[in-house]
Amino acid sequence: MKDVTQLLAEQPLFSDLGNDMFALVAGCAHNEHFGADDYLFRIGDPADRFYLVRRGLVALELVRTGGSRLIVDTVSNGGIVGLSWLVPPYRWNLDARAVEATSAVSIDAGCLRRKCEDEPRIGYVLLQRVSSALYQRMQAARVRMADVYGVPSDE
């Protein structure tokens, strides 16, 4: 059975990280499993960790006016779940639900933030990598806002 260090090394976010940096991150990592429809976190809860999906699928959900739920994104193998741990007030602003049985490496956000503050060089490298994921998600949200599959202009 692989230990959490090996599992973390398989994650694209931390691939090719220097040994010293990788050891620091691994010290904050845990292996977790979720059953179908288990929640990884709920809106309003403290954003005290984030997840790197190893296997499975996680839905990010918002509650609409009237109470119905909407899946606005899903994250599968190699993806990152949770970005609110990066910025105050460190609270989740949506729900994350496992669509199917899901395994993920969780990273203790407080632990990682402390290490980044102590070692700004590491913090910069990690922030660059997380920013890349953030940027892709923002771009995807913008394109979907454009409703690209909607009815085009008249023929």
Site for other proteins, residues 84 to 113, rule: CB under 8 A = 97, 99-100
Q: Is 65 in the site for other proteins (CB under 8 A)?
A: no
Q: CB-wise, 16 or 154, nearer to other proteins?
A: 154
Instruction: Candidates 10, 32, 73, 108: give the one binding other proteins (CB under 8 A).
Output: 73
Q: CB-wise, 26 or 51, nearer to other proteins?
A: 51
Q: Is 148 in the site for other proteins (CB under 8 A)?
A: yes
Residues with Cβ within 8 Å of residue 40, at least 6 apart in sequence: 34, 51, 58, 81, 82, 96, 97, 98, 104
Q: CB-wise, 10 or 108, nearer to other proteins?
A: 10
CA–CA separation, 128 vs 19, rounded Å? 17
* Contact track, other proteins, 11-50, x by CB under 8 A: ----------------------------------------
CA–CA separation, 41 vs 93, rounded Å? 10
Q: CB-wise, 100 or 119, nearer to other proteins?
A: 100
Tokens of 88: 């105050």
Handedness of CA 39, 43, 48, 53 (dihedral sign): positive
Please report, for residues 9, 13, 145, 151, the alpha-carbon distance to residue 2 in angstroms, rounded to integers and kept in the order given: 11, 18, 41, 49
Tokens of 57: 């699928």
Instruction: Candidates 9, 21, 57, 127: give the one binding other proteins (CB under 8 A).
Output: 57
Please report, for residues 37, 83, 133, the alpha-carbon distance to residue 137 in angstroms, rounded to integers and kept in the order given: 23, 11, 6
Q: Give me the residues that bind other proteins (CB under 8 A), please.
A: 57, 59-61, 68-74, 76, 78-79, 97, 99-100, 136, 139-140, 143-144, 146-155
